[in-house]
Amino acid sequence: MNLFTGYLKKYRLPFLTAVICVTFEAVCDLLGPTLMSHIINNGIEKSSWNAVMFWGGMMLLVTFIGACFAVTRNFLSSYVSQKTGAELRCDLFSKIMSFSEKDTDQIQSGSLITRMTNDTSQLIQFVNGIMRIFLKAPITCIGSIILASMLNFRLSLIIYISVLLVSLLLYFSMHVSYPRFYRLQQAIDEMNIRVQEYLIGIRLVKAFGTYEKETDKFERVNQNLTQKNVSSQIVITFISPILSLIIGIGTIIIIYIGGMLFQVRLADMGDMTAFTIYMAQILSSLIMITNVFTMFVRTKASGARIEEILHAEGDFPRNTQNRIISGEITFDHVTFTYPHGSGIPVLKDLSFQIKQGESIAVIGPTGSGKSTLASLLLRFYDVQQGQIRLGQFDLRDLGVNEIREQVAIVPQKALLFSGTIADNIRWGKKDASQKMMEQTLKEAEAGFVSEMPWQTDSMIGSNGVNLSGGQKQRISLARGLIKKSGILILDDSLSALDAITEAKVLKHLKERQQRQTKIIITQRCGTAMTADRILVLDQGEKAGMGTHEELMRGCSIYQDLYRTQMESSKEA
């Protein structure tokens, strides 16, 4: 469990103090039966009241000291485990924030939530247990065996046999349980993913009336989780009573043989009593050790899942250099295939150039690779063949921070976060003034904000649930515009706007700084015509590039798109 080493180093002093407290607490518990034997042998059997008072007082003192160590241990174990858990969650969140798109595609968000919550809680319980019962159980068990052997070696042979049998049971339990607990955590993942999908698409479910279908899906996932839970617990269910049976039989044999030894004066009554108590302590310790191994196996499964996140490659490296990068973009024979995809290239031998300050519209049929251009320019992925240059630099030679400071994107899906409108806009520029926000909202044709009760300080729900599609899109547009970067990408981000509002927004974009390169990804020929040039894609390849007039003369794909849209508008 190397995962804990780095965290526990920070809290080595309270951790070691807790370990010392556990050790002394166990020693105090172990002294109890021996002191009891002295009370019986030296006090009760010899009718010595003074001996009973002395050894009884010693027993009370040892019990009080053990209780003090227990209280201290509980406090320290809670402190260290909660601090460790808090840091682990922060590290996991930071790592997830630095995930590359490849990592995000591979591990679903529902699984990430499970690992951040359920798996992390499992590790916190394990750290807490280390300082509470995990060390105490073996110390108590070994100490009981040693002290019992010192009292009567003949009877201790029965204890050795019992412990050996229990050890074999624990080994079998651990070997069988680990894969079952790992599958259990995966089943919890499936449950969270299903619930998350339903909550995200709850309006769609209501609109299509697919309650029964969703309920059936959930029932299957829920049944699978139940089966995995039962499967993971079934080994422990059988191990615990078998363990108790072994120790119980051992205790009966000790009493029987001890009685025989007592008759021939090879054992004292106090020793017999102490032996019975030590056997009970061994039983209790072995049950705790069984629970320890169960928790260890489950924690091992959770730890493996957490380490998968912590050891993920992460995003492409950042760069501390402050280089000047122009807004000129070059795609030079670019071929790209999505990792974990179908294996079919999304872009094929694609070459074109965009001059700084030029506005380019990208249009083409669905699935032609338009949005992939935006992902590659932001370096969410690296190309497999060819080269993308930003200015004179190869994109792979630039740090992601350099690229993303130079590029602003308004995504296809207008994603907003809970908070105020101002909070969402300042994602583009964290120190944006109120005047800058008002000007940007004007450019985005988001005049509705000024009519809201608190204007830019108005609260919006998660993903802007209290706003219409067009309103969300205009706030998302304002967030991208306020960044005032060298390159602006509009990834089909005007689709929810009516023709008049869209025309106004495009007019504002033309009036913006002339040196800003603009890439407008769209499905509408009318929108594309406002750009300086139009790039037409078809099945990942360049079908044509030029002005509207040039494409109408020499690009059949563009001609078909234009005619289809014109005919549709006439029919409407």
User: Sign of the CA dihedral 267, 270, 274, 279?
Assistant: positive
**What are the beta bridge partners of residue 388?**
331
Q: Are strands 393-394 and 407-410 parallel, antiparallel or unpaired?
A: unpaired
Residue 76, classified by CB atoms within 10 Å of its CB into exposed (0-12), middle (13-18) or buried (19+), is buried
The answer to whether 188 and 121 have CB atoms below 8 angstroms apart is no
Tell which residue, 466, 453, 451, has the closest CA to residue 419.
Answer: 466
Asked if pLDDT for residue 34 goes beyond 80, the answer is no
HEC states along 332-353?
A: EEEEECCCCCCCCCCEEEEEEE
**What are the beta bridge partners of residue 407?**
487
Tell which residue, 363, 357, 334, has the closest CA to residue 545.
Answer: 363
Of 22-31, 136-145, 355-364, highest mean pLDDT: 355-364
| Angstrom distance (rounded) from CA 93 to CA 324 | 32
Chain segment 459-518, per-residue pLDDT in tens = 887 777 777 778 888 888 888 888 878 888 888 877 777 778 878 888 887 776 667 888
- Among left, alpha and beta (phi > 0; psi -120 to 50; other), residue 505 is alpha
| Angstrom distance (rounded) from CA 532 to CA 551 | 13
Q: Average the pLDDT over each of 132-146, 186-200, 390-404, 450-464 and give the range with the smallest value.
A: 186-200
Chain segment 87-120, per-residue pLDDT in tens = 888 888 887 777 766 666 667 666 777 777 778 8
Count CB-CB contacts under 10 A for residue 323. 13
| Angstrom distance (rounded) from CA 347 to CA 385 | 10
The answer to whether 558 and 536 have CB atoms below 8 angstroms apart is yes
> Which two structure tokens, joined as six digits, stand for 175?
């070997």
Q: Average the pLDDT over each of 83-87, 163-167, 266-270 and give the range with the smallest value.
A: 266-270
Chain segment 146-189, per-residue pLDDT in tens = 877 777 777 777 778 877 887 787 777 767 776 777 777 778 77
> Which two structure tokens, joined as six digits, stand for 565?
């849209």
Element (H, E) at 535: strand 533-538
**Rounded to the nearest 5°, which phi and psi values hold at 382?**
-105, 145
**What are the beta bridge partners of residue 459?**
420
Q: CB within 8 A of 173, min separation 6: which ones? A: 235, 236, 239, 290, 293, 294
Asked if pLDDT for residue 226 goes beyond 70, the answer is yes
Asked if pLDDT for residue 232 goes beyond 80, the answer is no
Domains, the chain, with CATH or none: 2-310 (1.20.1560.10), 329-571 (3.40.50.300)
| Angstrom distance (rounded) from CA 291 to CA 563 | 72
Helix, strand or coil for residue 232? helix
Query: Please, what's the b/e burial string for 289-305 (b: 16 or more CB within 10 A of its CB; e: otherwise)?
Result: bbbbbbbbbbbbbbbeb
Asked if pLDDT for residue 363 goes beyond 80, the answer is yes
Give the model's pLDDT for residue 401.
79
Task: Measure the CA dihedral 559/560/565/571, to 10°.
Answer: 120
**What are the beta bridge partners of residue 521?**
362, 491
Give the model's pLDDT for residue 535.
92
Count CB-CB contacts under 10 A for residue 22. 26
Give the model's pLDDT for residue 513.
61
| Angstrom distance (rounded) from CA 317 to CA 403 | 11
Query: Average model confidence (pLDDT) for the chain?
Result: 79
Element (H, E) at 521: strand 517-521
In this predicted model, which residue has the larger pLDDT, 451 or 271?
451
Asked if pLDDT for residue 79 goes beyond 80, the answer is yes
Asked if pLDDT for residue 546 goes beyond 60, the answer is yes
Give the model's pLDDT for residue 219.
82
| Angstrom distance (rounded) from CA 193 to CA 497 | 32
Q: Average the pLDDT over each of 15-29, 63-77, 135-149 and give the range with the smallest value.
A: 135-149
Chain segment 315-335, per-residue pLDDT in tens = 666 666 667 777 888 999 999
